[in-house]
Amino acid sequence: MAGQVKDREAFQRLSFLYQAAHCVLAQDPENQALARFYCHTERTIAKRLVLRRDPSVKRTLCRGCSSLLIPGLTCTQRQRRCKGQRWTVQTCLTCQRSQRFLNDPEHVLWGDRPEALLRIQAGERSETTTAPVRQSPTHSSPPS
């Protein structure tokens, strides 16, 4: 199947970019711009092909600026407890955007999906054609 081969190639490219971003930060923690570029490219490809990625990968990419989120380096990580569930709250140090996820990976999958779909739709339909509402002039009765 041609589609499966294409998908596998895309996944290989994605994982290469993801690993490259890790390598960049491992070699030079200051070089966050390059790591961000890799992750941004990774996200762009994944979004275009509508590929479902591993939640563990998605967790480590900032939704705001595509930074590779490494606790203590590019983000802070805190544990929160809410309604008996444990959440991890990550705050990106580059754009200050925080995202949280349940420590149960199944719940993360659920939570991620609708937002990802919304994002794709929002990106495609950036231009909305709204016809200008024209108001008919009110006829004032002429003075007699």
Q: Are 87 and 103 in contact (CB under 8 A)?
A: yes
Question: Please, which residues bridge with residue 86 across strands?
Answer: 81
For residue 135, give the 3-state DSSP assignment. Answer: coil
Q: Does 116 bind Zn ion (CB under 5 A)?
A: no
CB nearer to Zn ion: pick between 15 and 94: 94
| Minimum distance from residue 29 beta carbon to Zn ion (Å) | 16
* CA 87 to centroid of chain Cα atoms: 18
Mask for 60-79, x = binds Zn ion (CB under 5 A): --x-xx-x------------
Amino acid residing at 13: R
| Minimum distance from residue 39 beta carbon to Zn ion (Å) | 10
Q: Does 92 bind Zn ion (CB under 5 A)?
A: yes
CB nearer to Zn ion: pick between 60 and 67: 67
User: What's the rounded Cα separation, in Å, for the pair 20 and 33?
Assistant: 13
Residues 44-63 interacting with Zn ion (rule: CB under 5 A): 62
Query: What is each CA distance from 33 to 46, 49, 69, in whole angstroms?
Result: 20, 24, 13
CB atoms within 10 A of CB 17: 21
| Minimum distance from residue 99 beta carbon to Zn ion (Å) | 9
CB nearer to Zn ion: pick between 12 and 31: 31
User: What's the rounded Cα separation, in Å, for the pair 97 and 17?
Assistant: 22
| Minimum distance from residue 66 beta carbon to Zn ion (Å) | 7
Residues that bind Zn ion (CB under 5 A): 62, 64-65, 67, 92, 94-95, 97
